[in-house]
Amino acid sequence: MIIDPLGRRFKNLRVSLTAACNYACTYCVPDGKKLQALSAELSEAELIYAVRLLIDAGGVDKLRITGGEPLISKKFDALLGSLRDLSLKDIAITTNGQFLKKKLPVILDAQVSRINVSLDTLDASAFRSIARSGDLATVLEGIEEALAANLKVKVNCVPIRTSNIDELLPILEYCLDRNIELRYIELMNMGHLKHNQLYEQEFIGMDEILDKIGRKYEYYKIDAPIDSTSLRFEIPDYGRFGIIANESEPFCRTCTRLRLSSNGQIFGCLSNSKAFSIRQLLDKPYPIAITELQSILKSAMQLKQRLAFTGETTVMKFIGG
Ligand code: SAM
């Protein structure tokens, strides 16, 4: 077990398959530039070995595959296939959904427990303005097909004052109608937002989100697992939703996550650009690699914030959102 001095145990691994993305969301990358793959990304074999080592060295039971956009990575199918032999309790994927329909057979064939689809608006033109790419109808079709195949789907929505403030209730209702648990994610002070007043201008906090919902629906707070990033709420007779309130109610104190970036670095915290490379371990035999990795993981756990996210210039897609 890898535990830090505050008693936080590493049990939750996020793997960024690639830093590349087919979107260029305004709040994630500046100037409409799609983020390219890192030149030094791990090969398919290295990635699969790295994930296996991390799971074994840490006693990990939850894995999330993210990016960049994981579904555009050539390594996606092979990584999913490799997870079958590992005893993971929970495998999840975060995707923008553009290729969900195409990749659904691979996802269903693997032991994926659930997917989170990022969806910031139901308005096709607002969608193009935020993502600066992609097609809303294709994402919605992918969600319908995933639901029809009985895959558990959640939707992630980042409220942004000038882009989707009027969409927050329609998205909630879209999700409630389909028994999807929506997660509003408070805008994080990352990447180009970090030294920019845009962050304060665009940020919409939990109280404001709840106020909007409360004008139409009664809701109450329900329990969430101790290491959950999300606060959860129930609207009686309609369903549930959550808020990842990294600013309003930080959850660093109970964070159990470490992140593997697509170029083989372990990040302890989204608010810390310091990372430890594990590339040099990937040529070593399993027992040696495991021992060395455990010591790296202990160091990575020390990078966590004690209480609250403090912002970071690293782009979320490099670390794996
Ligand atoms: N491409 C995939 C997707 O779109 O879901 C996975 C990677 S993306 C970085 C993961 C999540 O991070 C998305 O839900 C996205 O909205 C969110 N995200 C990116 N930048 C953010 C920021 N500054 N604050 C809050 N959430 C952010």
What SS3 class is residue 252?
helix
Cα 79 to ligand 1 centre (Å): 21
pLDDT of residue 34: 67
Q: Is the pLDDT of residue 38 over 80?
A: no
**Identity of the amino acid at 85:** D
pLDDT of residue 145: 98
* Dist CA 283 CA 37 (whole Å): 23
Dump the DSSP string for 190-202.
BGGGTTSTHHHHH
Q: Is the CB of 155 under 6 A from ligand 1?
A: no
Higher pLDDT, 211 or 59: 211
Residue nearest to atom 9 of ligand 1 (CA): 321
Closest ligand 1 atom to residue 246 Cα is 25
Q: Is the CB of 317 under 6 A from ligand 1?
A: yes
* Dist CA 144 CA 163 (whole Å): 25
* Dist CA 209 CA 255 (whole Å): 24
Closest ligand 1 atom to residue 21 Cα is 1
pLDDT tens for residues 120-156? 999 999 999 999 999 999 999 999 999 999 999 999 9
pTM reported for the whole predicted model: 0.95
Using a 10 angstrom Cβ sphere, with 0-12 exposed, 13-18 middle and 19 or more buried, the burial of residue 165 is: middle
Cα 158 to ligand 1 centre (Å): 8
* Dist CA 198 CA 238 (whole Å): 35
Q: Is the CB of 28 under 6 A from ligand 1?
A: yes
Q: Is the CB of 69 under 6 A from ligand 1?
A: yes
Tokens 């530039």 belong to: 33
